[in-house]
Each structure stands twice: as C-alpha cells, then as structure tokens.
Structure 1
Amino acid sequence: MLPDPNSLSGPLDPAPDAGWVDAPPRMGFFTDTSVCIGCKACEVACKEWNDVPGSGLDLLGMSYDNTGALTANSWRHVAFVEQPRPAGHRGPPSAGAATAGRGAGPEFLGMPGAQPPGRAGGAEGRSDFRWLMMSDVCKHCTHAACLDVCPTGALFRTEFGTVVVQEDICNGCGYCISACPYGVIDQRKGDGRAWKCTLCYDRIGAGKTPACAQACPTESIQYGPLDELRERAAARVATLHERGVTEARLYGHDPDDGVGGDGAFFLLLDEPEVYGLPPDPVVTTRDLPRMWKRAGLAALAMAAAAVAAFVGGSS
C-alpha cells in the first residue's frame, strides 16, 4: 500500500501500521561514528553470519576502504574519510566520553583524528588531519519506498519494524533499487535478485544481537529498542558538545524528516554528504497517490469527453 502523503510527518511505529498485532518494541541500530576505529569487524561478521559472498579486494586508490559502498555483497560498509582537522577543533574526546554508560574502553578508541594502523605515534604521527569512519547499513526507513514498489511482496515489514527481502520471492525487477533514497539495495551479479541488510532478522527473532553489533569492539554499532537508542544518542551528542566536539550531530533520527525517521541512524562528525549520505532523503513514492488520483481524474474526463462527442455526433 502506498503511503498517504499527508501522514509522512510525526512518529509512526511501522510494524502495527503494517498489520502486526501486539508487535514488540521497534528495534534498530545507533551507529556512533566517533568511536569507530575502522576495523571492519562488522563487515566480516555480517558476511560470515549471513553467508554473503566475498566482495573481492579493491583498495580504491589511496583509500583504506576496500568495499567502496553498500552492495548486494556488502551489507555493511565501513567508509574511510581523510580530511583536514576543522578550524577551532579542541581535540578528540577522551575514552570516558566515548564509552560513558557502556563500560570502559582503551583511552585511544574513538578519537576523532585517530591515526590508522601504521601511521600513528612517533615521528610519523600527524595532528593536522583526522579520519572519519562510519559503518553504513540499510536504514530500515519508517516510510520505505522499496516496500511500496515491490510487485511480488518479496520485501516485507517485520514485527520489529525492519525491512527484509525474501530472496526466494524476489523476481529481480529492480524497482526497489531505484526507489531507495539512500541507494542501499543492489542486485547481485549472476543472480539478479535484490539483496541488503536484514538487521539479522533470524538472530533478533531469537532474542540475539545482530552479528555486526555483536562483533563491534568499541560499541560503535549499538542495537536495541529504537526509543532507547534515540535517548542514548541525544545524550552522547550533548556530551561531545560539552567536550568541544561541536560538529557532532545526529542523522536519520528525526521522525519528521522525509522518510519518517530511520530504523538505523547515526552520529556524524561532519555534514552527511561527507559520508556519502543524502542531506534531505525523501520517500520517493510519496507523490504517487496524488499522481494516481490525478491520472484517474484525467482518464474520467477523457472518457466523459469521448462519450459526449459520440452522443453529440449521433444526434
């Protein structure tokens, strides 16, 4: 069913809206990029648990990123962004800020500006740039355009509010790929079907944590009830601002944005475009009900005109 364009604002629990009775709390991801160390444990754990094929090895020029983007064979993608340190930046937060309320951690973990392996410390160390790292994933949108356009029902909304592709039903039409405002969904070569993150539907259904969050050594990827994650994220941003990291901001948490908020949202240390994210994502199908209504009215008008012309011509 296509979304009502007048209902795309305000909070919505998508599972009951999709027909689930007595649905559990909506579950999701909060990815805190300020404590991501780029280890790619999430990528490996995702591939191992979900039996995702290898992506091959491509160092993409000067980058440490060997996957490049979310694809049918990369359901988690750790982005590496090297940039000059922002003017007026007071320095990285301590590990106390990085792990407050979530257990202690090594003092160097999560420092914005932390050096990649082999580049930190000693005479080789630098302080004029920083690495921004982010483990990207499907956003499991509140208003998911991919669901709207799927002709076979291969995509469905789970009781946890997540969006899953049933590969045995997918016919490879590709409509969902062009409908996704984030460019997440992809077709696998030699297969033709659509593939993406399932938020480990099999694991969370058994009360377990998704593989990527389970494997993350710094708790950059956090899993839990979405309402709790949003509260935790807001507190984290406030802590970073108090410590001078004023560029910290949340992305995808707002239920009043163009997709009704995401089931997987992020704490970023720069503008979304720096991480390859759209600044203002919009449900690509939100205008379809209005368009179909106008098309129907136009068709009725044409039919009425044809009938009038026929009657007028015969009399």
Structure 2
Amino acid sequence: MADLEARKGMFIDTSICIGCKACETACKEWNELPMNPNYGFSGQSYDNTQKLNGENWRHVKFIEDFSEDRSEARWLFLSDSCKHCQQAGCMEVCPTNAIIRTEYDTVYIDPNVCIGCKYCVSGCPFGVIDIGLFTGTAEKCTLCYDRLQVGQQPACAQACPTDCIEFGDVDELMAKAKEREKQLQANGESRAQIYGDSDILGGLNVFYLLLDKPEKYGLPANPQLPQKNMLGGYWSSILSFIGIGLVSLLSFRTRGQRKQQEETQDVNL
C-alpha cells in the first residue's frame, strides 16, 4: 500500500450533483476517448451513456426515485467511475501485472503491458473495466494520472460546477464527508450514507455520499473479491479456447477433404 500521506482520491457528494454531465465531457475530452458507435437514447431516461465502458470512463447515472405509492418522485444522480479500491480485485487477477498501484495510491492499467485477457473485467465487482473497442486492451479511469504527475487535479473535478466532485487527500475528504452526512441526516435525509469507507473492500479512494441505499444507485451493498466473480470470466475464456479449437479443426478437416478430392480428380484424369 502506498504511503497514507500520499493517498489521493475523490469524494462524490450526490446531494449536490445536478446531472449536467460536465464531468463526463471533461473526461472524454482530456483522455481523447472515442465515441462508442453503439450509443443511443435508451428511451427510458435522459442518460444516453447508459454504462461505464472502454470509451466512457465516467458515467453520470440518472435515477428516477419514486415513493412507494408513486405519488412523489425525485431525481437521484451519481457521477460514477473506477473506485480505485484499497483491495483491488482487478490487480489480484491480472496475469501480466499490467495493473499497478501508483505513488498516489490509485489503480492504473499500463496499456503497454495489458494483453486484453479480460480477467480484470470479471475481477472487478463494480463492472467498471471494459475492453476498448478500438484498443483491444482493458480501459478505465486513471484518476488522470498524467495530470496528477504535473500537480493538476483530475479533469472531472476541475469541470464540476457544483463541487460535487472533490479531489484531495483521502483522509481529509472522508472527514469532510462524515460531517456532510451528519448535516444531511439532521436536515431530514435519514438514509444519507457514505459508500466506500473501510467496510467496503478496505476502503475506496473514490467514495460517495448517497441519499439512499447503494442498490438504488446500482452499487453492490457487499461487493466481493475476485474468487467469487471470476467463474463467469473463467468459463468465458475456456469456451473461447474451445471455440477457436473447433474452428481450427473444422478448417483443417475441410482443407484435407478438398485436397483428397483434388487428388482423386487427378487420378481419374
């Protein structure tokens, strides 16, 4: 683990997020992320990004929150990205050590070492990592590692007009989040809670102040480490190898039959 004094991260206060997507835009612009050709309006929300993937490292979720009798409704917003976990499942399963922990205690994927095996995709309990359509390697938020190295804050935090995204020392941000949590609860938001303290995978360097239970935001209440997430990825890899083997066998057999037919025709001539 990196020196705790150097731990950098972000505090996302969903109570003041307005869903403007300035953070999404800033992320795509700074990281020069291409447009996913499969984008389109879902027809059920104002959210056209729909999920995190290799071309979207930050995603603002739009959640329509209705009361039980559906007589009242409100919008909940969540600016989502990689959590830069203390216990990072993606790092545990990477076979080439392409996923490293930086001097800022953030989790970074080295594209020059990644082989696109997808183990990290299955190893992430938050569904953050994806294989880029145009790169063939694992892609996710880097917490703007290149900007941190020159003393700048992440592009999303700089672009946020309400300071919903705050960048800084993780311990200082957590102390501020706990004060904000108490304030919201005192003002009637009884379900306000911090998501990402030490009870979640040893702590998330990018953590949230939610206004409702995590499941309402599409976050797992009890995220699990890779040994409970890898089965799907394991079988996916096995089936891929079997498929490649069958295609190769069929191709070899077809070529053999064609050659035999040609030899038979030559003999008859």
Same fold (TM over 0.5): yes
| Equivalent AA in structure 1 for residue 210 of structure 2 | L
Number of equivalent positions: 228
| Equivalent AA in structure 1 for residue 211 of structure 2 | L
Alpha-carbon separation, structure 2, partners of 1:181 and 1:148: 12
**Does residue 256 of structure 1 match 2:238?**
no
- 1:1-315 maps to which residues of 2 (within 5 A)? 14-16=1-3, 24-56=5-37, 57-85=39-67, 128-253=72-197, 255-257=198-200, 259-285=201-227
The alignment's TM-score, normalised by the length of structure 1, stands at 0.69
Q: For 2:20, what is the secondary structure of its paired residue?
A: coil
| Equivalent AA in structure 1 for residue 89 of structure 2 | A
* Partner residue, 1:119: none
Residue 83 of structure 1: how far off its partner (Å):
1.8
Residue 60 of structure 1: how far off its partner (Å):
0.9
Once superposed, what is the RMSD of the aligned Cα atoms?
Answer: 2.0
Query: Are the counterparts in 2 of residues 240 and 248 from structure 1 also a CA contact under 8 Å?
Result: yes
The alignment's TM-score, normalised by the length of structure 2, stands at 0.80
Deviation readout 1:200-251 (Å, 9 max, x if unpaired): 0111121111000000000111110000000000000111111111121111
Query: Are the counterparts in 1 of residues 93 and 120 from structure 2 also a CA contact under 8 Å?
Result: yes
Alpha-carbon separation, structure 1, partners of 2:68 and 2:41: 26
Deviation readout 1:14-63 (Å, 9 max, x if unpaired): 215xxxxxx75200011000100000000000011111112354111120
Residue 157 of structure 1: how far off its partner (Å):
0.3
CA shift in 2, pair 1:130/1:176, >3 Å: same
Query: Are the counterparts in 2 of residues 24 and 160 from structure 1 also a CA contact under 8 Å?
Result: no
CA shift in 2, pair 1:287/1:267, >3 Å: closer
Residue 131 of structure 1: how far off its partner (Å):
0.1
**Gapped regions of structure 2 (runs ≥ 5):** 231-269
CA shift in 2, pair 1:239/1:216, >3 Å: same
Query: Are the counterparts in 2 of residues 82 and 130 from structure 1 also a CA contact under 8 Å?
Result: yes
Alpha-carbon separation, structure 1, partners of 2:102 and 2:130: 20
Residue 285 of structure 1: how far off its partner (Å):
4.2
Deviation readout 1:145-186 (Å, 9 max, x if unpaired): 111111122111001110001112111111111001111100
Alpha-carbon separation, structure 2, partners of 1:245 and 1:287: 34
Residue 190 of structure 1: how far off its partner (Å):
4.0
Alpha-carbon separation, structure 2, partners of 1:190 and 1:215: 26
CA shift in 2, pair 1:190/1:52, >3 Å: closer
Query: Are the counterparts in 2 of residues 24 and 159 from structure 1 also a CA contact under 8 Å?
Result: no
**Gapped regions of structure 1 (runs ≥ 5):** 1-13, 17-22, 88-126, 289-315
Q: For 1:29, what is the secondary structure of its paired residue?
A: strand
Query: Are the counterparts in 1 of residues 100 and 108 from structure 2 also a CA contact under 8 Å?
Result: yes
Residue 256 of structure 1: how far off its partner (Å):
3.3
Query: Are the counterparts in 2 of residues 55 and 67 from structure 1 also a CA contact under 8 Å?
Result: no
Residue 85 of structure 1: how far off its partner (Å):
4.5
Q: For 1:48, what is the secondary structure of its paired residue?
A: helix
Q: For 1:15, what is the secondary structure of its paired residue?
A: coil
Percent identical among aligned pairs is 51
Residue 128 of structure 1: how far off its partner (Å):
2.3
Q: For 1:62, what is the secondary structure of its paired residue?
A: coil
Alpha-carbon separation, structure 1, partners of 2:202 and 2:196: 9
Q: For 1:203, what is the secondary structure of its paired residue?
A: helix
Residue 267 of structure 1: how far off its partner (Å):
0.7
